[in-house]
Amino acid sequence: MGGPNPERSRFADYAEDATGFGATEWRTFRDLLKRPRAVLDAYLERGPTGGGLYARPMGFYFALCGVLMIYMFIAGGLEGVIQRQPAEVLNGWIAASGKSRAEFIGDADGWMSLVSVPVLSFFYAIFSAPLLKWWGGLDWRRTFRSTFTLLNAWTVPVIFLGPLPMMERFALFASIFMYGANIVAFLRLGRGLWWKGWPGGILKGFLLLVVMMIGAGIGMFFVMQIGMMGALHGN
């Protein structure tokens, strides 16, 4: 007879204790890969947990961002981004801090690695939500729910890249994959909601990607400022 499998339930409990991912989160992860539109429909029709089937979209996105932050630390943080700043700008910050160059860059990297994922995520959401509301005609509450579902559907396949996107030698491959995954996620989720015909859907997908990258560029400016200020005033 069917029924709960105690061994599987026990494994799910251990997994949740170890990773923060329980059965609901793993189901959300799986279905965002296999049938993301079904996940979005559940959120829109049955509330922020999809009728109890799925993790809340915003909370699940923050969990995915936590994984990306771990990848960033594994890949060595954002030291390369700091090193590419104009010498006169970077040298001014270093002189004002009274620290050695290596010490200042290390401190700035620590701050930037800590805040970059949540800050960029915020800018992705606030830049993409108005377009999605315009195209979908949903109220703001369901628009933000669908926005974070899109961000989740984009991020889940990126998770499989591990820390490669943060490594300079893999930057081109990772960028192509990530940009492609963004457009594919939009197309898989949005048919009949955000777009009707394929030409319009592809065009909207590229437009949304451009808007999100503009948001990311602005967000990265704030990440840089937080890193520099943290290194300037930190011990």
pLDDT in tens, 113-122: 888 888 998 9
Is residue 44 situated within a structural domain?
A: no
Total domain count, the chain: 1
pLDDT band of residue 55 (cuts 50, 70, 90) is very high
pLDDT in tens, 171-219: 889 889 999 999 999 999 999 999 999 999 999 999 999 999 999 999 9
A 10 A CB-CB count for 101 gives 13
- 56-61: long-range contacts (C-beta < 8 A, 24 or more apart)? 57/145, 57/148, 57/149, 57/151, 57/152, 58/144, 58/148, 60/25, 60/28, 60/148, 60/152, 61/121, 61/148, 61/151, 61/152, 61/155
What mean pLDDT is predicted for residues 41-60?
95
Residue 12 within any structural domain of the chain? no
Please report whether residue 74 resides in a domain. yes
pLDDT for 224 beyond 60: yes
Is 195 within the bounds of a domain? yes
The answer to whether residue 67 is domain-embedded is: yes
Which residues pair with residue 195 across a beta bridge? 191
Cβ atoms of residues 100 and 107 within 8 Å: no
Task: Say which range, 71-75, 101-105, 222-226, has the weakest mean pLDDT.
Answer: 71-75
3-state secondary structure of 191: strand
In a domain, 213, yes or no: yes
Expressed as residue numbers, the domain containing 79 is 56-233
225 inside domain: yes
Q: Is the pLDDT of residue 15 over 60?
A: no
- Determine, yes or no, domain membership for 76: yes
User: Which position has the higher pLDDT, 167 or 91?
Assistant: 91
Which pLDDT score, from 0 to 100, does residue 83 have?
A: 85
Higher-confidence residue of 84 and 38: namely: 38
Angle CA(67)–CA(218)–CA(69) in degrees, nearest 5? 10
**Which sign, positive or negative, has the C-alpha torsion 43, 47, 51, 52?**
positive
pLDDT at 1 over 80: no
pTM of the model: 0.86
Query: Per-residue pLDDT averaged across 65-89, rounded?
Result: 85
Supply the Cα-derived Rg of the chain in whole angstroms: 20
Burial 203-230 (b: 16+ CB within 10 A, else e): ebbeebbeebeebbeebbeebbebbbeb
